[in-house]
Amino acid sequence: MASVDRYSSDSLRRLLGSLSSVTFKDEDGQIEYFGQKVVILRRDAFQLMKSELAARNAGGTISLILGIVGRRVGGEEAKAFKSQAGFQELSVNASTPDLIRRAVEDTNMGYGKMLIRELGISAKTAIISVRNCFEAEKSARRDASGCFFTLGYLEGLFSELIGSQLRGVETNCVGKGDESCIFELGPTFEKSQWKL
C-alpha cells in the first residue's frame, strides 16, 4: 500500500532527521525547532519556579497550571509535526503506530528519553516511560514531586496524534524514588472545564 510505503521506518527516520534540526537565526536572536520558535531555558529555572510555588503552598496550582501549559505545548508540537510531515489529517492505518512511535521516541526536545511501552490505537490508551525526565527531581517535599508538565505534554501530544482527547496519570516518578517516570493515558469522557 502506498500509504504504508510512504511512512516506512526508513522514510520516517529520514523525514524526522530533516525535521528535527534546530535552526539558529543569530541575526534575529531566534531559534526554531519544527519551524516553531523555541527558547533555551535553564532547567534550573523551571525547577526554581516549581519549588517556589510549592514553598508557597501552591501545590494544587502547580499541577493545574503546568498541566494546562504542557497540554498546549504537546498538542501544538504534534500539530507542527503533522503539518511538516505533510499530513494534516492523520488517518489511522497500518503505519499509524509506527508513525506515533517515531514522533515520540525519535524526537528530542530535551524532556528526557521517551519510550512507548504500550499503544492501543483503537482503545485510545498509551503507557509511556520517560527516563531522565527533565522535570523529575528527588525531593523530600511530596508536593514538589510529580512531573505535571510532562504529563500534560504527553496528554496533548497523544490526543493530537490519536485524534481523541486523552488524559492520564503519572504512576511512577523519579521524584518518588522510582527508576523512570511512567505515564498511563486513556480516553476521557468528561468535557474539561478548562479551555485548552
Binding site for Zn ion (CB under 5 A): 136, 147, 173, 181
Q: Which residue, 95 or 112, is less far from Zn ion as judged by CB?
A: 112
Q: Which residue, 63 or 159, is less far from Zn ion as judged by CB?
A: 63
**Minimum distance between the CB of residue 24 and Zn ion, rounded to whole angstroms?**
30
Question: Cβ(70)–Cβ(150) under 8 Å?
Answer: yes
Q: Which residue, 114 or 136, is less far from Zn ion as judged by CB?
A: 136
**Minimum distance between the CB of residue 104 and Zn ion, rounded to whole angstroms?**
16
Instruction: Give residue 180's Cα distance to chain centre.
Output: 15
Burial 170-182 (b: 16+ CB within 10 A, else e): bebbbbeeeebbb
Q: Which residue, 62 or 181, is less far from Zn ion as judged by CB?
A: 181
Residue with grid cell 501552591, as numbered in its chain: 58
- At residue 132, what are phi and psi to the nearest 5 degrees? 60, 40
**Minimum distance between the CB of residue 112 and Zn ion, rounded to whole angstroms?**
9
Q: Is 77 exposed, middle or buried (0-12, 13-18, 19+ CB in 10 A)?
A: buried
**Minimum distance between the CB of residue 188 and Zn ion, rounded to whole angstroms?**
21
Q: Which residue, 78 or 182, is less far from Zn ion as judged by CB?
A: 182
Cα separation, 177 vs 79, in Å, equals 34
**Minimum distance between the CB of residue 195 and Zn ion, rounded to whole angstroms?**
26
